[in-house]
């Protein structure tokens, strides 16, 4: 499941045009389909990033307690924050 989740994030960051930063990844947002393949859900908070033009995002985000990256506290986060 961890590998499937990592591949899903890689797809969002590297393959989507424009790239997507999920910003709220937690176990409740990792689903399994009938073939036990990982599906990442709840991308409603995910901003679309202009292709390659922004490496850091800023803004106020309330993530689920215990799941947010430390960068969320300062309001600055990157693809690595996912």
Split into its structural domains, the chain has a count of: 1
CA 8 from centre of chain: 9
CATH of the domain at 13: 1.10.510.10
Three-state secondary structure call for residue 2:
helix
* Digit-coded pLDDT (tens) for 37-72: 999 988 765 665 554 444 444 455 555 556 666 766
Residue of 60, 52, 58, 49 lying closest to 77 (CA atoms): 58
CA 82 from centre of chain: 4
Cβ atoms of 40 and 30 closer than 8 Å: yes
pLDDT of residue 53: 43
Q: In terms of residue numbers, what domain contains 49?
A: 2-81
């Amino acid at each position: 499941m961890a590998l499937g989740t990592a591949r899903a994030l890689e797809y969002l960051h590297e393959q989507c045009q424009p790239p997507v930063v999920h910003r709220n990844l937690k176990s409740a947002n990792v689903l399994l389909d009938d073939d036990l393949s990982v599906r990442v859900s709840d991308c409603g908070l995910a901003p679309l990033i202009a292709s390659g033009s922004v490496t850091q995002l800023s803004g106020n985000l309330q993530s689920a307690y215990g799941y947010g990256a430390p960068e969320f506290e300062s309001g600055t986060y990157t693809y690595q924050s996912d």
